Amino acid sequence: MNRSSRRDFLKNTMMAGIGASIASQHETDSAGLEKKKPLFEKKINKAARSKKIIIGGAGIGGMCCAYELMKKGHEVVVLEASGRHGGHVYTAHDGLSDQLYGDYGQEHITKPGYNKYWEYIQEFNLTAIPYPRRKNILRRINGKFYTEEMLKDPAILAKFGFNEKEVKFLSENPWWDLKSLYTKPYLDKFKDEYQPFGVGYDDWDKIPMASIYKKDGASNFAMSLLGGTHSSALFDLWLSAILHLRGVPEFPPEVFRLKGGNQMLPNTFAKKLGGRVWLNSPITLITHSDKDVTIKYTQHNEEKEISGDYFVNCIPLTKFRNITIQPTLTPEKKYICENVTYDSYQRFVFQASSKFWLEDNLSINMDLDHGDLWQVWQSAEEVETHRVIILGTGPGGVSPQRALAAFREVYPGKTKDTIEQAISKDWTGDSFAPSCERLPFPIGELHKFWPHIMEPVGRIYFAGAYADNLNWGTEAATRSANRVADAIDKA
């Protein structure tokens, strides 16, 4: 690192430390929902040799990694291309009344499952509340709605086309647990959730999971629900084994969210980090050697440069691969960056003046089986108002009005809805974070991606939801962030 760059880095991080100190004095008032005294504070430890780390991306992975490195006594700067922190964790208030809000991104957390995430809830004294969005779900199948009780009726199950084994299983187990009927016999061979190879199923990476379902006698209707045509049997079984090892169901019905919106956690990270987070600062060039890294970025319409000991990429790979890197990444890492795929979606927020569905004795938690709107459920229940928020998920490119029309088209009740506002966030067209969760790796190519996707290249490290074994959003992001922070601290 040259002397000028080092001096600028020290100056900037020193000012950031002042900002963080000021913010921390008011932490209880500004970040604590109920102004409770934190259960405990983790002190910042002075590292044996303070390192200088530049982090790309101020999503929850980047913010978490910066926070952990800061606590270990290192100097950090987070460069974020957009004008806000949080990435896919985005709680919206604009356009809504009565202090209501809608989570545009992250939906929920589980317990167990989100272990790191729950540690931060405790550390920051945030409030997690039960989220009944997966209770009493009404499912629309072939144009008709079914309650959970109806989907346990053997006669109804048989009419769908389930075989005898499936009918018996679903009459005794939840609808969403059908997958475990076919995966459970294979899971005990996995002993290490970070090691899918060497358990006896390596050759199954070359065949789709649907082949295993078919081999084991799944009905055509069950196979249409289970899918598995685009993911390998090894990959699918490995993901199920990770959940099994963590004691988490395939579709956890007991979920939670943060009171006030899920953005409370990245907001708290931001307060702790203070001026270390630089918004509207897109990275244009990464130069790295065996001694340091130099980052060129744009800020206030000026090209600037900063150097450090390490760079941590928390930018989605769909955007990261557009940044010039000198020297180029290894062929193995470059292949990963160019070939990882993600899903995406649009989140709809409907504001209604009443819980109109209660007049029809219905649950508002619905799987709609509609091309323009896939699901709806209630949120922000703790806000004291007669108005309610209904969240929905659907494909990109659909206007909120069209999604609302889809809801009205299939709503099974007779009472007219009282929806008075419809807004949305279309992540598929977002300039900075168009991707959500990582999709399965191509069949036959797990060895090309794992474990290389989470390994560093020299002084460039990788964290985020894509850089962990289970692509569970904020839990994968915080897990990978902690792993990288520990590795850099010990380097």
**Confidence grade of residue 47 (pLDDT, cut at 50, 70, 90):** low
Domain CATH code at residue 308: 3.50.50.60
Q: How confident is the model at residue 22 (pLDDT cuts 50, 70, 90)?
A: very low
Number of residues that this document lists for the chain: 491
CB 375 within 8 A of CB 108: no
Quote the pLDDT of residue 49: 85
Query: CA separation (Å) from 369 to 141, 145, 411?
Result: 7, 10, 11
Phi, psi angle pair for 293, to nearest 5°: -135, 150
Instruction: Indicate whether 75 belongs to any domain.
Output: yes
Do 351 and 336 reside in the same domain of the chain? no
Give pLDDT, residue 106. Answer: 94
* 150/238 same-domain check: yes
Evaluate whether 439 touches 341 at the Cβ level (below 8 Å).
yes
Phi (first) and psi of residue 434, to 5 degrees: -75, -10
Answer yes or no: is 446 within a domain.
yes
Residue 211 has pLDDT above 50, yes or no: yes
Does the pLDDT at position 490 exceed 70? yes
Residues 128 and 237 in one domain: no
Pairing of strands 138-141, 302-308: unpaired
**Last-in-domain residue among 376, 399, 429:** 429
For residue 404, give its domain range: 100-134+255-259+344-429
In a domain, 94, yes or no: no
Same domain, 121 and 150: no
Tokens of 456: 């560093």
413, part of any domain: yes
Q: Which of 246, 273, 293 is the last residue of a domain?
A: 246
Percent of the chain with pLDDT over 90: 89
Q: What is the SS3 assignment for 39?
A: coil
In this predicted model, which residue has the larger pLDDT, 9 or 461? 461
Task: Examine the domain organization and report whether 350 and 334 are in the same domain.
Answer: no
Residues 334 and 470 in one domain: yes
pLDDT tens for each residue of 275-325: 999 999 999 999 999 999 999 999 999 999 999 999 999 999 999 999 999
Q: Looking at the structure, do residues 230 and 302 belong to the same domain, yes or no?
A: no
The partner residues of 298 in beta bridges, in order of sequence, read: 303
Within-domain flag for 469: yes
Q: Are residue 449 and residue 329 in the same domain, yes or no?
A: yes
* Nearby residues of 25 by Cβ (< 8 Å), 6 or more positions away: none
Note whether residue 95 is domain-resident.
no
Residue 25 has pLDDT above 60, yes or no: no
Residue 405 shares a structural domain with residue 357: yes
pTM: 0.90
Q: 451 and 311 in one domain?
A: yes
Count of structural domains within the chain: 3
Omega of the bond prior to 112 within 30 degrees of 0, cis?
yes
Residue 293: inside a domain, yes or no?
A: yes
> Are residues 365 and 412 both part of a single domain?
yes
When comparing pLDDT for 379 and 31, which is higher? 379
In this structure, are 446 and 462 located in the same domain? yes
Task: Give pLDDT tens digits for 105-153.
Answer: 999 999 999 999 999 999 999 999 999 999 999 999 999 999 999 999 9
| DSSP symbol at 249 | -
Q: Is the pLDDT of residue 37 over 50?
A: no
